[in-house]
Amino acid sequence: MHQHQAFEPHLLEVAGLHVEFRTRDGVAKVLNGVDYHVDAGETLAVLGESGSGKSVTANTVMGILQTPPGAVTGGSVRYRGEDLLTASPERRRDLRGENIAMIFQDALSALNPVFTVGFQIGEQLRTRRGMSRRDAEKRAVELLDQVGIPAARQRVRDHPHQFSGGMRQRVMIAMSLALDPDVLIADEPTTALDVTVQAQIMDLLAEIQAERHMGLILITHDLGVVAEVADRIAVMYAGRIVENADVHSLYANPCHPYTRALLESIPRVDTKGTELRAIKGLPPNLARIPPGCPFHPRCSMAVDLCREVVPPLADLPGPRSSACLFANELVGS
């Protein structure tokens, strides 16, 4: 008689997620069957151009998708096996911040200009943990110190406008860590920061993730930013994952023409002086996604079949997967 091993669910799993935006101008199919997962102690980078559906997926996971115009029309979002899409609003509210937290891309508009940063970090601790104002402020000082804000004891009573862009992003990270979440979603955490500060914020996130053994999801349009910190990369295009691979395999040998084109458009030291290759055309209008593979109008490898067939996200040796009819040829190239 065989002993069946208990199935261990992923820490967070998005499966077959479909989201539409219904407006007076028509229906935009923003997510078209998104699949990805992250486990404890792992960093997943979700990569794609603006409009690919990265942030909509994150907002759906967090339960903050604006409805209307947004509507979830299929799929599941599971936290430790529990489907969040069918959970009660109270249950989702309990999980938000406590188990799954998010860092938003624009720290200045995400922070309230009227209150001190200490008050804003401590607010969750007062309402969720029942801490006194003094204890919450003391914990806020510890969190600011952990995210590398100098003189945290003095700065805890400063307002957001008194911090630089990089320091405000650190405040946002401190706020997201206040309730010790298992999963942290960072939505474009380095947008509008200069390159040196970008690297510092990425290093900080990697350090915190390793220390706390969290699942970290990094949402970005910039392949260069995540190279050092990601374990796996999921590449999005027109509301679908088109390639999924560990970071080393993806950089060494991308198996989807879109990923290949993204890599060729990054400035590199060893190609100094040569012309950068831009991806021709524009991402598709999500209200009128072309038939077949949505990338075919911009793809140099496209053949007639690509205009008719939507390629599934198929497994390749690796383990990795790609949604391209030519994936097996690319994996060997």
Residue 269 resides in a domain: yes
Residue 275 resides in a domain: yes
What is the share, in percent, of the chain residues with pLDDT greater than 90? 68
Distance CA 221, CA 189 (A): 11
pLDDT, residue 37, reads: 95
Range of the domain at 299: 255-333
Residue 174 resides in a domain: no
pTM for the model stands at: 0.91
Over residues 23-52, the pLDDT tens digits come to: 888 899 999 999 999 999 999 999 988 888
Distance CA 76, CA 54 (A): 16
Among 186-190, 221-225, 298-302, name the one with the lowest average pLDDT: 221-225
pLDDT, residue 104, reads: 84
Over residues 83-139, the pLDDT tens digits come to: 999 999 999 999 988 899 999 877 777 899 999 999 999 999 999 999 999 999 999
What letter would DSSP give residue 192? T
The helix-helix angle for 117-129 and 133-146 (nearest 10°) equals 120
Structure tokens at 111: 């922070």
Residue 285 resides in a domain: yes
Handedness of CA 99, 172, 233, 287 (dihedral sign): positive
Residue 288 resides in a domain: yes
Cβ(205)–Cβ(147) below 8 Å:
no
pLDDT, residue 279, reads: 81
What letter would DSSP give residue 188? S
- Domain total in the chain: 1
Residue 318 resides in a domain: yes
pLDDT, residue 101, reads: 95
Residue 330 resides in a domain: yes
Residue indicated by tokens 């349009």: 221
Over residues 229-262, the pLDDT tens digits come to: 999 999 999 999 999 999 999 999 999 999 999 8
The average confidence (pLDDT) of the chain is: 89
Over residues 151-203, the pLDDT tens digits come to: 999 999 999 999 998 999 999 999 999 999 999 999 988 877 888 888 899 99
Q: Pick the closest to residue 296 from 264, 324, 333, 262 (CA basis).
A: 324
pLDDT, residue 269, reads: 53
Residue 67 resides in a domain: no
